[in-house]
Amino acid sequence: MPSLPHVVSRLRPPDFDAGSVWLVGAGPGDPGLLTLHALHALSEADVVLHDALVSPEILALAAGARLQPVGKRAGGARTHQLRINQRLIGLARQGLRVLRLKGGDPLVFGRGGEEALALAAAGIPFRIVPGVSAAIGGTASAGIPLTHRMLARSVVCATGHDLRGEAPDVTRFAGADTLVFYMGLRHAGALAEQLIEAGRAPDDGVAFVANATMSSQSVTLGTLDTAASVAATLSPDDPTLIVVGPVVALRDMLRPLQQTAPLTMLPEPMTAAGARR
């Protein structure tokens, strides 16, 4: 049986050029959901600008790089998007290999599009490395299939707040079979109310998935008409997905036999002889 390092020795990742920026999705949390491109970028980068949501286990893989936390949860203060763009451009112009690492996927509510546009305008070559988005990876590990041939043939992913921080208008897509809201915990009641008014059943299933794919993952179930009261019992600081639709009911059937252990890591590299360096 070939071991993982043995298999990997055959891989030839594309060059991470000096003076370029890679906008990379780190997936929802479990390091096993990193892509090979992401792992390559971590091992080659000179500097890593990362969101606070990227787990320490994943950052530990960037042994050779300088780490710069940016984003909402970094030390309390939020780094303004324009300053992040400027920093990416400045570091690339110094000839560094710049890795911009985001939770989930960089283009699904990750502002990767804004950063890519800024880099393109500045003439900096860049690569977008998609990742397993939180909606997809988080619901899978919670035992909730986003689609199911008979139950769900359309899925909408949406932000749970608008540009002013208010509950967005969700009636425009309320009839999708499955809905996933990012960062909508604060407005769960208002969102559920809109969906009922738009014609969804009050007993439509709702799942709140906090800390998706991490060992601290927790899933709380409810329905549209109980969503507000259930949300009030949850920690507002945990990143939480809200899933709405009939597929939520499949969880109870899947969970008893579903395995979800994450990938773990040795704290230090082993030499070929198996001794710690």
| Site membership for its own copies, residue 42 (CB under 8 A) | yes
Task: Restricting to residues 182-211, name those near its own copies by CB under 8 A.
Answer: none
Under rule CB under 8 A, how many of the chain's residues touch its own copies? 108
Among 70, 136, 192, 244, binds its own copies (CB under 8 A): 136
Among 37, 50, 100, 102, binds its own copies (CB under 8 A): 37
Q: Give the residue numbers marked as catalytic.
A: 51, 72, 183
Burial zone of 79 (CB within 10 Å; 0-12 exposed, 13-18 middle, 19+ buried) = middle
Residues 6+ away with beta carbon under 8 Å from 204: 195, 223, 224, 244, 245, 246
Among 75, 237, 259, 273, binds its own copies (CB under 8 A): 259
| Site membership for its own copies, residue 257 (CB under 8 A) | yes
**Min separation Cβ 180 and its own copies, Å:** 10
Task: Restricting to residues 109-128, name those near its own copies by CB under 8 A.
Answer: 109-114, 116-117, 119-121, 123-128
**Min separation Cβ 224 and its own copies, Å:** 16
Q: Which is nearer to its own copies, 47 or 136 (CB)?
A: 136
- Chain centre to alpha carbon of residue 107: 10
**Min separation Cβ 189 and its own copies, Å:** 19
> 256: alpha, beta or left, given left = phi > 0 and alpha = psi -120 to 50?
alpha
Number of CB atoms found within 10 A of residue 145's CB:
16
d(CA 116, CA 246): 37
Residues 6+ away with beta carbon under 8 Å from 2: none
Element (H, E) at 50: strand 47-50
| Site membership for its own copies, residue 9 (CB under 8 A) | yes
| Site membership for its own copies, residue 242 (CB under 8 A) | no
